[in-house]
Every structure is written in C-alpha cells, then in structure tokens.
Amino acid sequence: MFISKSTDIIEIKELEELDTLKDKKSIKQLFINFAERKFIISGVKKFAKTVHELSDLQKLDQLHTLILDFSKNEIGSYGCEILVKPMKKLYRIKRLHINLQWNDITQQGTKYLGFVLGCFENLHELYLNMWGNDIGNLGIHNFFKGMDIAYKSSDIDLDSLFKSKKKKKSNNKCQITDDSLNQDDSTIQLQESILNNQSQEESQKDTEQKLNQHECKETNNEEFKQEENELEEEEENGDNNENNNDEEEDDDNDEDSDDSSSNIQKIEKLYSDNYKILAQGLTKLQRLALNFKFTRISDLALSFISNCLSCAKQLKVLDLNVSSNKITSQSIGEFAQFLEGNEKIQELKLNFKDNCLQAVGVQKLAQGLQGLKQLTSLKVNIQHNNIKEAGAIALITAIKSCEKIQQLSLGLVSNFIQDKAASYISMIINPNLTKLKIGLGSNNIWDQPVQSIMESIKCCQNMEQLNLDFGNNASQQTKNSLNLESALYISEALLLLKNSLKKLTLNLFWNRIQSEGCKNLINAILGLKYLEELNLNAKWNRIEENYGRKSIIPLHSLTSLRKIKLEFGIDNWAENKELTNKINQRRIYKRQFLYKLLATKKSQYQDKFRQEILDEMLLEFLYV
C-alpha cells in the first residue's frame, strides 16, 4: 500500500468504534480495518449507515484519505454494492485504498465498484485489491466500463440504479442481477477476434514447446474462445432466468421502473457508442495499484486493462499484479504499447508470476520498458513461466537502457535460464543502486554467472538492501549447481559493502557450497557493521553436523543486528556414515509416527490410499 500509517489517521477496528466518529469535529484521514472479521453483511451495513450519517452532518467534507480493509470476510457482490453505494458522496477524496481480497465477489460486484469510483473526480491515488475473487474477464470489463460511464455522464442518478436492482438470495448469499446493464457483447467479440487473429502464428510455433515445470500451457484459439463464450452464456442465462422470475412482480414495481427508464436508455446508448473501453476517470491518477491475483482472468482481461490505462497519462507510480492466472504472450503487446506512451512513470512494479508467458511475450514487454527513461524503481516478477534464454536476455537488455534506476527487483525463478542469460544481469547492476533483489533459483546456473554478478555488486557502495536467490525447489526439474567458488565470490562482495548494507537475504538451498563456503560467508557477514536483518538459507549444502549452531555464536558481536534467521539443518548432504544413520533414524521415527496417526483414522482412509497419503506427508516433513 502507498499510504503509511501516521498519527493523523483515525483507525477503526471494531464496529462499536464507528459511533465515536460522530463526536469528531472533522475527519481528514480514515482507516477502517475490518479484515478477517467474518462480518459477511452486518459490518458492511453498519459502515454504510455511518457514512450516510456523517455525510449529512458534513463531517466528511474535509476527508481526503480513505482506507478500507474488508479482506477475507465473504461479503459477496451484494455486500460490495452496500459498501460502495454511500461512497459516491465522498467525491472530494484524493487517496483511496480498498482491500476486498477473498470476499466471494463476482462480476456483478465489479459493476457497482466501477460506477462509484468513476465519480471521484479529484482522485490522485488508487489502490484496489481484488485478490482471490472470482471476477473473471467480464468482471474486469464491467469495472472499467462502469468508471467510464460514471465519468462521461455525471447526470445519471446512481441512487435510482441501485434501487432498481432486484435481489435474490440463495445459500445464505445474495446475488444481484441487473437487466438494465447488459454486457457490451460486441466489444468482447471484437477483442476476441483481434486476439485470435494475432495468436494464430504464435500458437503454431509454440505447440511443440511444453512447460515441464507445471501444467500451465499456452492457450490455443479454440480454448480461449470457448472460455469467453461460457462466461457470456452464464451471464446471459442468469439475466434471462431473472427476467422470467420477475415478470410476476412487474405490476407492483411499475413506479421504480418508470423512474429508472431514462437512466437505462442513457447507459444502453453509452455501451453502444464505443467498442474500445476508455476509462476517462483515470486521467488525473498519479499513483495506481491494481491487484488481480488469482481472479480467473486471461489475455482478454489484460487487453481491457491496457486499453483503460492508456488514458492515465499522468501516472508516476504503477503497481499491477496479475499473477496466478492464465495470461499468455498474446496480450503483452498491447500492454507494452501502454508503457511506451507513459514516459512519466517513475516507479513500476509488474507481477506476472505463475502464468504462461514465453520468450515472445517478454520480448514485447521489453520494448515497452525501453522508453521509460524516468524510472527510478523497477520490480518485475516473471517467476514460474517459460521465458528461457531469449526472453531473459531481451528483458535484461531493456532494463539496461533505464539508467536512473536506484531500486531493482528481478524475479526469474524457474524459467529454464542458463549461464549465458544469467551473466547478462551484471550489466544492469549500476553503482547507484540502493536496493537489489535477484531471483535466479531453480534454473540451470553454475558458478560463472555468480562471479560476474558479484563483481558488479562490489561497485555498489551505497547498497542498503541485498536479496540474492540462487536456491532450488525440490519440486522443480531444473536445478542450479553452485559450488564452493560461488560462496567465495559472494563473501568477497559482502566485505566491500560493510559500511552500507543493512538487510541481507541469501538463499542457497540445495547447492554444494560445503562447510568451508559457509564459513567464508559467516566471516564476511561478521564484517557488516550496520547489518540489521539477516536471512541465510544453506540447507542441503554438504555442511557438517552442528555447524549451524557454532556459526551463530560469533554473530552476537553484531550489535546492530535486530532480526536473524539461519537455516542449516540436519538434512544437508552428509557424507559420513554416522550422520547418515542419524538422518535415517529420524525418518523412521517420522514414518512410525505417521502410521500411528493414520491408524486413528482408519474409517476415513482406505488401505490402498494409506501409502499415498503417507508419502505426501513425508515429503512435507523432509522438504519444508
């Protein structure tokens, strides 16, 4: 989040505390912290009622900062409507943070959220977290289209729109259907056809390449089209069913339908005016953070996001998280075009982790990064994709052109990268860096790239935070192979950072640095005078027994050290028989313990599945 807590912010953690706001003369900054309270609807209604009352008392006229944290509460789309409805009275707000992570919100809820956010004419900073909600591509479309409508037509009475909604409950959850706000099917079909045509050549070239590291595959044209058609059919069926169920109630609700008929016509006209979505409400934004992690979106959603962000010409800070979805290389080109047209961006954070990107998509992304000459902070996370050597080299070459970067984070874990591409990273480590994070774990890297990287780090005399990940994951097929030489290279570089480094994170899990390499690392760390935080993972490195305990004792001499985490463990690659026997005895003990545990649950598990369950639990014990 952009906003840091200060004494001026009024923080509310309990429902009863909302009543105390009425005693305040004026409220400028407000933080509603209702995370993980299992409120469902009651807490949301209480907040909405309070906002109405405070607005009537004119105590929110000076409110310029609002933070709402309703994460992990299962409020649903109906709760989302109740939450945002009174917020349209707070149009003077300049900084708005909304956290709705894991709340069972669907595409219906994003409609109302977009409508209300489009009313904030003076909004300069927006943070929206929709992580874990099942909004899909249509949800992204509805959100930005709602902002566009609210911005273009300020005369639409949103109160009558909310009143005209007919609500129905099922399984103790409310689902809202809206006959007046039909989806712009022509827009979606047009975007689909464009993406399908662009992907025909790429799909033929990529069919032979399979992702061995996970089951994620490049989406072909038929699957992509079938997915979007299913989403559209679900929405149309929901609307049709509601129309049939509401025919008997039309006689009693004629007055409400007459009041909103003019609004319906306006909105239908606006939907049919344009094919391309342009969220004009984003024109004044300078800081924007959107978190759509694990929201079941694909290339079509990223295409919508790119089109809408093209209007945000004043952006200086952008944080976009679309990790754990089904985004491929098809829509990266449009996003790169957006980056090319926004030269004012100074801080950029992109998270494409756990998607289906390949080298072609990252090469397109690199073209967009080359034009950002004002960048001072860059974080790019492409972990667990399949960009390989070509994609990594293109990305690193583009970052090299951004000469003003002072904070750099590059996540390339598990991307089938080898020594050649890893050596290029030394080119982007400039002497002005104060924070550096490099993730190269679970690739196919040896000692030579580590040497070149550490030689460049030696020149960074102002480095305050350093995070290096060369470790391996036992579940991945590719594996780094760092030896004693790599530990020596890292130690030499750390000795030259003794007057500046404050935070150090080093992951060498499952390599071969041995006890001597670990000893050199500890000696180098002892020379860091101002070190405050240390995290060192050296498990499975052929380190002698009890060496981890011995190495902790000298670290007490670091008076500035406030937080420490050392992981050596008995599960290192032991070569002596005594230690190997101890490890085997411990594993036997675990197996006996698990058998006793399973014996108490005989009725729940069949005998043929007992061995499979046991093996899974053993893996958890051994690898964590």
For residues 153-176, give the mean pLDDT: 44
Is 582 inside a domain boundary? yes
Model confidence at 26, pLDDT cuts 50, 70, 90, reads: confident
Top pLDDT among 307 and 291 is at 291
Cα pseudo-dihedral 513, 518, 520, 522, rounded to 10: 150
- Give the C-alpha separation, 445 to 460, whole Å: 23
* Block residue for tokens 């956290």: 99
Residue 558 Cα to chain centre, angstroms: 35
pLDDT above 90 covers a percentage of the chain that reads 47
E strand segments, 501-605: 503-507, 533-537, 563-567
Total structural domains within the chain:
2
In 3D, which of 469, 367, 456 has the Cα closest to residue 415?
A: 469
Structure tokens at 466: 């350093």
Can you tell me the distance from the alpha carbon of 452 to that of 485, in angstroms, rounded to the nearest whole number?
A: 12
Confidence of residue 6 (pLDDT cuts 50, 70, 90): low
Does residue 241 lie in a domain region?
A: yes
Query: Stretch 320-327: mean pLDDT, rounded?
Result: 96
Write out the H or E segment, with its range, that includes residue 464: none
Asked if residue 52 is part of any domain, the answer here is no
Domain interval for residue 600: 577-623
Would you say residue 498 lies in a domain? no
Phi-psi region of 508 (alpha: psi -120 to 50; beta: other; left: phi over 0): alpha
Mean pLDDT of 273-301: 80
pLDDT of residue 25: 85
Least confident of 125-134, 243-252, 519-528, 593-602: 243-252
Residue 229 within any structural domain of the chain: yes
Measured between alpha carbons, how far is 477 from 474 in angstroms, rounded to an integer?
8
Q: For residue 176, count CB atoms less than 10 angstroms from its CB and return exposed for 0-12, middle for 13-18, buried for 19 or more.
A: buried
**494 pLDDT exceeds 90?**
yes
* The predicted structure's pLDDT at residue 302: 94
Q: Is residue 568 part of a domain?
A: no
**pLDDT tier, 273 (very low <50, low <70, confident <90, very high otherwise):** very low
Is pLDDT at 381 greater than 90 in this prediction? yes
pLDDT of the residue at 261: 54
User: Among 226, 246, 273, which residue terminates a domain?
Assistant: 273
Domain boundary, last residue among 247, 273, 299: 273
Q: Assess whether pLDDT exceeds 90 at residue 85.
A: no
Give the pLDDT of residue 168. Answer: 38
Whether the predicted pLDDT of 8 surpasses 70: yes
* Lowest-pLDDT range of 18-22, 152-156, 486-490: 152-156
| Range in 125-129, 244-248, 507-511, 577-581 with the lowest mean pLDDT | 244-248
Of the residues 273, 295, 315, the one at which a domain ends: 273
Res. 220 pLDDT band, cuts 50 70 90: very low
Could you tell me how far CA 324 lies from the centroid of its own chain? 8
Would 207 be classed as within a structural domain?
Answer: yes
pLDDT for res 170: 35
In a domain, 611, yes or no: yes
Tell me what pLDDT residue 189 has. Answer: 47
* One-letter amino acid for residue 477 of the chain: Q
Does pLDDT of 135 surpass 50?
yes
> Which residue blocks in 85-175 are alpha helix, DSSP H?
107-117, 136-152, 158-163
